[in-house]
Structure 1
Amino acid sequence: MTTVVMKFGGTSVANVERIRNVAQHVKREVDAGNRVAVVVSAMAGTTNQLVGWVRETSLLHDAREYDAIVASGENITAGLLAIALQSIGIQARSWQGWQIPVLTDSAHGAARIIDIPGEKLRERLDSGEVAVVTGFQGIEPNRNRVATLGRGGSDTSAVALAVALRADLCDIYTDVDGVYTTDPRVVPKARRLSRISYEEMLEMASLGSKVLQTRSVELAMVHRMRTRVLSSFTPPDEIPAAHPDTWHEIGTIVCDEDEIVEQQVVSGIAFSRDEAKITLRKIADRPGVAAAIFGPLADANINVDMIVQNLSTDGKNTDMTFTVLQSDLVRSLEVVKSAARDIGHFDVESSGDVVKVSVIGIGMRSHAGVAARMFTALAEKGINIQAISTSEIKISVLIDRAYSELAVRTLHSLYGLDAE
């Protein structure tokens, strides 16, 4: 008997008809004799509507009341799915975060899960009951208040619940049928990966891939929870029930790299258009200047990614370029300009007309020349690189937004990722 956690996102439960379709996916697992827990998001558009009502009521609002309101969307979905399951003869019960309980810290709106005592749910699963659990929400125990995990938090809820239940598999159902080598809308020859390592998936999630939420991948990697991405729009009877012999037959398994027999040098190409570049010119070249700039940015919770520093020819000044999220550009400029009071005058330039393109693959650890091939291929297409950042398994470049699709297609072909 396999224990499986099934997570369904907002598009998968967008209306009653789709909720009935989800019930058929759950029925397939129950009929196979598996223990099943289901994690659900709010119906598509519901959370946005709830957030809009909060902001319409007051732009300045209590974070605890905000969480109480926006968490209600998942309550509706869980109740509807439980009723849909009961209507087809399946024993099911809905569970809200506080009932389990999903214990979180006190950072309302962006809470982190501290613990999920799983004994109560395991007993229900052992008795044959399907637990339908609200994603995105938990309870902050100090004040006994509902706390939400931030947008996309249902993925994290599902993986955390799978860990607590000691599940064999966590299935994330979405509107795509797996993880692709890149966005198929940009590269029609992109192909679905049958397996991808936790490390690669984490890089892809943080570098622009929207398939899985970054925190959920981090959690899966820490606990080595095997996670599968598949589509809820695939007919339920075309997906085998969860079993070690059939896990690889459909979707994409996110797993330990030891489980991937044939490792390519590069597994995927990710890109992010939500990037902005800030350049500081004629900064005094002396100790403490970088700290005076990036310290206040960190204090403002602004994440800085790529950093390039060039010393001027006179040896007295330096130019510094770095990237932030486009949504943080205005705040970043305000913080940077205020730093001039401490380090002296410098010129500031900014641009939101950039894109970050990344090459990702665990095979890069043991293969030389991956970066050189990347830079050469982009140069041959007339694409100028404005900044570079690297890790053990990825290389990211910042380029002009106009060349984003050309760069992705070029690199996808360069590393042999096109489907035959």
Structure 2
Amino acid sequence: MARIVMKFGGTSVADPERIRNVAARVKREVDAGNEVAVVVSAMAGVTNQLVAWCQELSPLHDAREYDAVVATGEQVTSGLLAIALQHIGIEARSWQGWQIPIRTDGAHGKARIDTIEGAELIRRMRELRQVAVVTGFQGLGPDHRVTTLGRGGSDTSAVALAAALAADRCDIYTDVEGVFTTDPRIVAKARKLDKITYEEMLELASVGAKVLQTRSVELAMKEKVRVQVLSSFAEAPGTLVVDEDEIVEKALVAGIAYSRDEAKITIRRVPDRPGIAAAIFGPLASAAINVDMIVQNVAADGTTDMTFTVPKADLPRAEATLAGIKEAIGYAEITADRDVAKVSVVGVGMRSHAGVASTMFRTLAEKGINIQVISTSEIKVSVLIGAEYIELAVRALHTAYGLDAA
């Protein structure tokens, strides 16, 4: 007997028929003698609609009320799946995040999980053979209000629950059959990976791969939760996310990721003095705005230009925050560009091979693609380019690194 957490994304529970299919998959695990907890997302498209209504009513809405609205999607799905399981003879109960409780910090809209009290769920799984159907994406903040974990937060909920329940495995069911070398919708020759390291998956998730949320991979790596990514619609084996030690042959590049969810901000003629970066990025951090790629130009005439990227959704708040400190900073102006995209190459093999970055730059140059910003880590190289070139760049790089399937 094993203890398994099964997570199903929005497309897997998009309508009653698909919810029945999910219930059938859960029943197979229960019939095999396993203890099961299920984490569900909202039905496909529901969260987008809820977010759109919030933004339509007020672009700078109250984050606490935003959470109250968008958390309702998962509540519906968890109740429907519990009903479907009961209908086919499986003891089941739905749980909202606050009922367990899944305790988080107070960063509404982007909360982080602090603790999960899993004792009652474990007791019910053992004594009652009851399946816990848990709302993903949400928890309970210190202000006793519902919080949400950010887009893709159901993955984080599932991994955190697996850690709290000491589960043997966390299965993430999606609309794809696993982790591919890049988006198969852009590159027809993309290959499915049998295994990928936590570090590679973390980098791919952080730079735009939509398979798993970044924080879910961070948590899996920290807690040593064995994660499997597989399809809700096929019986094929998925991709295991594992320790690097389990992969004997490390590929130079594991995958190519991209993100269209980028906006570039340039602050012009910033006074070049000690502490100026802290004065700019401190208020952005206090506003819970994540800054990614940062470039500071060489100083001239006592001033410098500073360029960085933020998520597109955070651009209005970032501009408002920076406008509020203009007098204190003394910069000349701010310009913003939404028509940019980020493309990245990732692989643990970079640690022992030179020339990865030069191959990337040469390939993009041959396609006439200008690089606006560059950032690197030990196993990743990312560039910011014009949004109109993203598909061309991904295809060219996938071929250049020998990732195309035969």
TM-score greater than 0.5 by the shorter chain? yes
Superposed, 1:248-397 pairs within 5 Å as: 250-311=237-298, 316-336=302-322, 339-344=325-330, 346=332, 348-397=334-383
User: Which residue matches 1:76?
Assistant: 76
Q: Report the counterpart of residue 215 of structure 2 in structure 1.
A: 215
How far has the Cα of 1:353 moved from its partner?
Answer: 2.4
- Equivalents in 1 of 2:106, 2:268: separation in Å? 41
The alpha carbon displacement at 1:173 in A equals 0.8
In 1, Cα distance between the equivalents of 2:171 and 2:148? Answer: 21
Q: How does 1:378-417 map to 2 (within 5 A)?
A: 378-417=364-403
Instruction: Give CA-to-partner distance per residue, 1:224-263, whole Å, 9 cap, x none.
Output: 11111111111xxx36xxxxxxxxxx11111111112221
- Residue 78 of structure 1: CA displacement? 2.0
Distance in 1 of aligned mates of 2:356 and 2:277: 30
Amino acid at match of 2:32: A
Distance, in Å, in 2 between the alignment partners of 1:117 and 1:44 is 29
Between stretches 55-64 and 42-51, larger displacement belongs to 55-64
Q: CA separation of 1:282/1:99 partners in 2, compared to 1, >3 Å: closer, same or farther?
A: closer
Tell me how far apart the structure 1 counterparts of residues 183 and 283 of structure 2 sit (CA, whole Å): 35
Residue type of the alignment partner of 1:382? G
Distance 1:105 1:315, change over 3 A: closer
* Count of residues paired in the alignment: 405
Q: Give the deviation of 1:37 after TM superposition.
A: 1.0
Equivalent residue letter for 1:113 = I
Change (3 A) 1:281 1:68: closer
Counterpart position of 1:186: 186
SS in structure 1 of the partner of residue 98 of structure 2: helix
Q: Could you report, residue by residue, the CA deviation over 1:353-384 in whole angstroms, capped at 9, with x for unpaired residues?
A: 22211111111112122112222222222222
Amino acid at match of 2:140: I
Distance 2:369 2:63 in 1: 45
Following TM superposition, by how much is the alpha carbon of 1:348 offset from its aligned partner in structure 2, in angstroms? 4.3
Give the equivalent residue in structure 1 for 2:106. Answer: 106
TM-score, length-scaled by structure 2: 0.90
Distance 2:163 2:360 in 1: 39
CA–CA distance in 2 between the matches of 1:377 and 1:55?
Answer: 40
Q: Kindly provide the amino acid, as one letter, of the partner of residue 325 in structure 1.
A: P
TM-score by structure 1 length? 0.87
Alignment partner, residue 135 of structure 1: 136
- AA aligned to 1:410 is A
Whole-angstrom distance in 2 between the partners of 1:11 and 1:33: 27
Listed one character per residue, the Cα deviations across residues 2-22 of structure 1 (whole Å, up to 9, x for unaligned) are 211101112211111111100
Distance 2:219 2:346 in 1: 20
Residue 16 of structure 1: aligned partner: 16
- Listed one character per residue, the Cα deviations across residues 268-303 of structure 1 (whole Å, up to 9, x for unaligned) are 111112222233444443333333333333333332
Q: Which moved more, 1:321-330 or 1:202-211?
A: 321-330
Once residues 354 and 56 of structure 1 are traced to their aligned partners in structure 2, the CA distance between those partners, rounded to angstroms, is 24
- Matched position secondary structure for 1:192: coil
Of stretches 364-373 and 120-129 in structure 1, the one that deviates more from structure 2 is 120-129
Task: Output the CA distance in 2 between the equivalents of 1:96 and 1:386.
Answer: 44
Alignment of 1:82-93 (within 5 A): 82-93=82-93
Taking structure 1 as reference, are residues 418 and 93 closer, same or farther at Cα in structure 2, changes over 3 Å only? same
| Alignment partner, residue 161 of structure 2 | 161
Q: State the identity %.
A: 69
Task: Report SS of the residue matched to 2:44.
Answer: coil
Q: Which runs of 5+ in 2 are unaligned?
A: none
Query: Offset at 1:169?
Result: 0.7
Q: Are residues 318 and 12 of structure 1, via their aligned partners in 2, closer, same or farther at CA, if it must alter by over 3 Å?
A: same
Q: CA shift at 1:265, angstroms?
A: 1.1
After superposition, the C-alpha distances for 1:60-84 in whole angstroms (9 at most, x for unaligned) are 8775565445433323322222222
Contact 2:181 2:403 in 1 (8 A): yes
Structure 1, unaligned runs of 5 or more: 240-249
The code of the aligned residue for 1:256 comes to: D
- Cα distance in structure 2, aligned partners of 1:58 and 1:293: 26
Q: Give how far 1:196 is off.
A: 1.2
Aligned to 1:247: none
Cα distance in 2, alignment partners of residues 55 and 378 from structure 1: 37
Give 2:304's aligned amino acid: T
1:36 offset after TM fit, Å?
A: 1.1
Partners of 2:318 and 2:54 lie apart in 1 by 26
* Distance of aligned partners of 1:53 and 1:400 in 2 relative to their CA distance in 1, 3 Å threshold: closer
1:86–1:185 Cα change, 3 Å: same
Secondary structure of 1:171's match?
A: strand
Q: Which has the larger radius of gyration?
A: 1
1:152 alignment partner in structure 2: 152
In the alignment, what sits opposite 2:30? Answer: 30
Amino acid at match of 1:133: V
Question: Displacement of 1:182 after TM fit?
Answer: 0.8
Instruction: Find the counterpart in structure 2 of residue 242 from structure 1.
Output: none
